[in-house]
Amino acid sequence: MAGHSKWSNIKHRKGAQDAKRGKLFQKLARQIFVAAKQGDPDPEMNPDLRLAIEKARSNNMPKDNIDRAVKKAKGDVGGNEYEDVVYEGYGPGGVAVMVNVLTDNKNRTAPEVRHAFSKHGGNLGENGCVSFMFDRKGFITIDRSATEVEEDDIMLEAIEAGADELETTDDFFEIYTEPENFQNVKHALEAYPVQTAEVTMIPQTYTPLEEEETVEQMLKLIDMLEDNDDVQDIWHNLDADQEVLEKLT
């Protein structure tokens, strides 16, 4: 049954925020650098690097930028050492928030993340305080307006390739997979107008915010975190009315 998708609304807003191309490319380059440095520099042999490169390409990052990040990792002996850290906490109204960072200095990054939470009505918590509310999943969306494929047909293809489930909204087919099956499903659906394809954290439940002021405060928290160069991904379970989101963004 087609309808409202909380997850799509969140992702589409994030896509609009990611229009800050310079900062986005810098973050994507760091992800590629770390994946290439910590594993095989050949993306065919390094799943993390392959995902990082695919994410960069999906955001229209120039090939030269991608190649430069990989080459830098190959030659960066004794250079910057980045650590992958996830901070957890609650935003205004009790929204669960996870912040994934790549940092070369946790003593700098942790206070900055904590300040963002406290400034906008939230609080940073201990590891594990909200992560149990999320599942790591492959997530693929297909634009319904750009294809005439029927729901049953695309569901059959996705399930045969290893997908767990498909949901249909007004605008998209949303496919969910286990992380290990993500590449197979993505490859099987390449002929369709894929809008989003990533391994991410999917909320099990959502926290509704009805007051416009509280929603605005939550969006300001997201904005402040996104402006931090160390922050790579922000996952949350905000559920807000689409009209309110569009008004505030």
Structural domain includes residue 96: no
Structural domain includes residue 22: yes
Indicate which CATH number applies to the domain containing 25. Answer: 1.10.10.200
Predicted pLDDT at 1? 35
Alpha-carbon separation of residue 242 from 14, 92, 124, 206 (angstroms):
14, 18, 27, 14
* The token pair that represents 61 in the structure block: 């990052």
Structural domain includes residue 15: yes
Structural domain includes residue 159: no
Structural domain includes residue 98: no
Structural domain includes residue 125: no
Over its length of 249 residues, how does the chain's per-residue pLDDT go in tens digits? 344 455 545 554 555 555 566 788 889 999 999 998 888 888 889 988 998 998 888 888 999 999 999 988 887 655 678 889 999 999 999 999 999 999 989 999 999 999 999 999 999 999 999 999 999 999 999 999 998 888 999 999 999 999 999 999 888 899 999 999 999 999 999 999 998 888 999 999 999 998 999 999 999 999 999 999 999 999 999 998 888 888 887
Tally of structural domains, the chain? 1
Residue 128 CB neighbours (<10 A): 8
Structural domain includes residue 222: no
- Cα(56)–Cα(190) distance, rounded to whole angstroms? 17
Structural domain includes residue 63: yes
* The token pair that represents 181 in the structure block: 């099956």
Predicted TM-score (pTM) of the model is 0.83
Give the β-pairing of 134-143 and 238-239.
unpaired
For residue 61, what are the domain limits? 6-75
DSSP string, 9-54: HHHHHHHHHTT-HHHHHHHHHHHHHHHHHHS-SSTTT-HHHHHHHH
